[in-house]
Amino acid sequence: MEEKQFAGILNGAVPGEPVKKDENTRRGNWGNQIEFVLTSVGYAVGLGNVWRFPYLCYRNGGGAFMLPYFIMLVFCGIPLFFLELSFGQFASLGCLGVWKISPMFKGVGYGMMVVSTYIGIYYNVVICIAFYYFFMSMTNLLPWTYCNNPWNTPDCSGVVGSGAQLNGSLVNVTNSLITEAYEGINRTKRTSPSEEYWKHYVLNISDDIGNFGEVRLPILGCLAVSWCVVFLCLIRGVKSSGKVVYFTATFPYVVLTILFIRGITLDGAINGIKYYLTPQWQKVLDAKVWGDAASQIFYSLGCAWGGLITMASYNKFHNNCFRDSIIISITNCATSVYAGFVIFSILGFMAHHLNVPVSEVADHGPGLAFVAYPEALTLLPISPLWSLLFFFMLILLGLGTQFCLLETLVTAIVDEIGTDWIIRNKTVITLSVAILGFLLGVPLTTQAGIYWLLLMDNYAASFSLVIISCIMCICIMYVYGHRNYFKDVEMMLGFPPPLFFKVCWRFISPVIISFILIFTVIQYKPITYNDYIYPGWSLAIGFAMALSSVICIPVYGLYKISRSPGATFRERLKHACQAHPKWGPALHEHRTGRYAPMASEDTVAGRPLKEKEELKEEQKEGDKEKERKDEISLTIQGSNGSTNTHNNPNPSA
């Protein structure tokens, strides 16, 4: 009895159990529950927590923004997170396979794949730029400290004076970082050395999105390094990535803490933190603030990307994903708040030295990560050390998300094809997707690459995610049926979803998602980059990218209806919406109650001939799977939960 209780809590990590073995020998499982939690934290906690949330917070009323932010977390973030985790875990399938719940809506899964593809392409380019800055920080003097470089313009004015005034020794340089006055503060237009380094040296940015220019070879090399790292970490699927996240998901918190401690000891840091947190309660009445809060929660948690469903599909069937969803969601939001202290303590220090308001040095997105914050770091003694730590943190935050994006695509492909060969050779699929992602990312390393990166960031994963999430809620709650899904969750967890989550899934969360969509449409403004205004044809491409994921839903729905049996459209529609006979727990031993084979046989007479054959085939596969598990249990097992499957044709990837 005690062993069963521990098994439900620890996802197979039972005290006293000598060997952990996979429950699902065909697909594999996480080594233990900690691996799943850390992977999900790494997935949810990304670059946006550092470069977007602090900016949104100070722009929308400081501490007052926390109120709508946490309300949206409770009523939308955690319920949606729990819904996706339970969805993937129950079926043990990726973002395509789970739509056996209602085959007509499989287009939602394809939409998730399209979104993950877009994000995976440009996200790794951001990581590769962080790699580049990391390598460039391995020097005695950061290259964006002064204005005496070949790429600088006459408008350049640094915060630590001119390098020509120094004798070049490291001692004098580090001393001058604090004592030098800002020379160009009275200029009409100031360009910082970090901004010119970013625009004229790193990017060598062109004047138009259509003017690609040349490929920036250093960035291309870093992109290759980034994709190699991602591939090597996923070479054995969740078996290898589950071990890597012990470092990639935890070390960013070590770096954040180091930077936080260093930041709050600086002059002016308190002013920056006050600017970040001082509540402006009148802004709580502004609908835009609530819209920003809801959008940030939604996008930050990674809902509707397909990653949550994929990661949960490798859980053991009775894992307590309810508790996991609360832990991961709260950790994600707490990280955002914590990162705000790290960012604004340094920016407050910089504003103090420049004798300007914090608002003039605050920024978000790439502007914060590669311009504002690196410039602030030049003011610190031993600035290369802090720069190395900062960019290493960005790399790890990005990789945690990128792992799940790649695994989402690979899992969807492997589950969809489902042959023994492709399961045995999952590494080949992973390598193929990584190579394709690298090739598709090459245009983003050109001189016009930053324009395309921002275009993809603003359009590829914006309102399309909201639509996908809303349709997913409607399908599960109203097409499949909320009572059916509540019973599924109870069968999996041993208890039904709490009443609060039932209400949120059926009513509150869909309403909030709809509000986010309306807010996104109302607040829409054509994208710009600094003073550059995007031409109309590029915006058309942006909308095409956004629609390419959404259009999958009606196109596949119509296709499924046309292929469904029935004399009338209504009969075809009804059949296309019905759950597939194979919907339910993946393993034979978990198919109890209404999923039991006997229960299925009772209702088989009322099903079309095609479904009868599929049902019989499913029962045969279940028997084969049971025999395969019995054979595998006789093989030598390793201490990590991996098995030495010399005779097993289907080793887990």
Contact yes or no for 303/469 (Cβ under 8 A): yes
Distance CA 140, CA 150 (A): 19
Q: Could you tell me the sign of the dihedral formed by the alpha carbons of 442, 443, 449, 451, in that order? A: negative
Q: Is 637 helix (H, G, I), strand (E, B) or coil?
A: strand
Structure tokens at 61: 């009323």
300 is in an annotated binding site: yes
Query: Is 576 assigned a ligand-binding role in the annotation?
Result: no
Closest among 76, 137, 440 to 291, alpha carbons compared: 76
Strand partners, 156: 191
42 is in an annotated binding site: yes
Was 140 annotated as part of a binding site? no
Largest CA distance in the chain: 91
Chain-centroid distance of CA 2 in Å reads 36
Q: Which amino acid is at 416?
A: E
Residue 152 annotated as lining a ligand binding site: no
**CA dihedral of 618, 623, 627, 632, whole degrees rounded to 10:** 40
Q: Is 45 annotated as a binding residue?
A: yes
Q: Cα separation of 70 and 243, whole Å?
A: 32
Collect all residues with Cβ–Cβ distance below 8 Å to 500 and sequence separation of at least 6: none
With a CB cutoff of 8 Å and minimum separation 6, the contacts of 333 are 69, 70, 73, 77, 297, 300
Distance CA 531, CA 509 (A): 38
Give how far Cα 552 sits from Cα of 121, 478, 539, 557, Å: 20, 20, 21, 8
Q: Evaluate whether 408 touches 117 at the Cβ level (below 8 Å).
A: no
- Cβ-based neighbour number of residue 167 at 10 Å: 7
Residue whose tokens read 């920080």:
137
Cα separation, 324 vs 265, in Å, equals 36
Are residues 413 and 276 in contact, defined by beta-carbon separation less than 8 angstroms? no
Query: 648 labelled as ligand-binding?
Result: no
CA distance readout (Å), 635 to 589, 626, 628 = 21, 15, 11
DSSP 8-state symbol, 455: H
Binding site per annotation, positions for Na(+): 42, 44-45, 49, 300, 332, 397
Binding site per annotation, positions: 42, 44-45, 49, 300, 332, 397
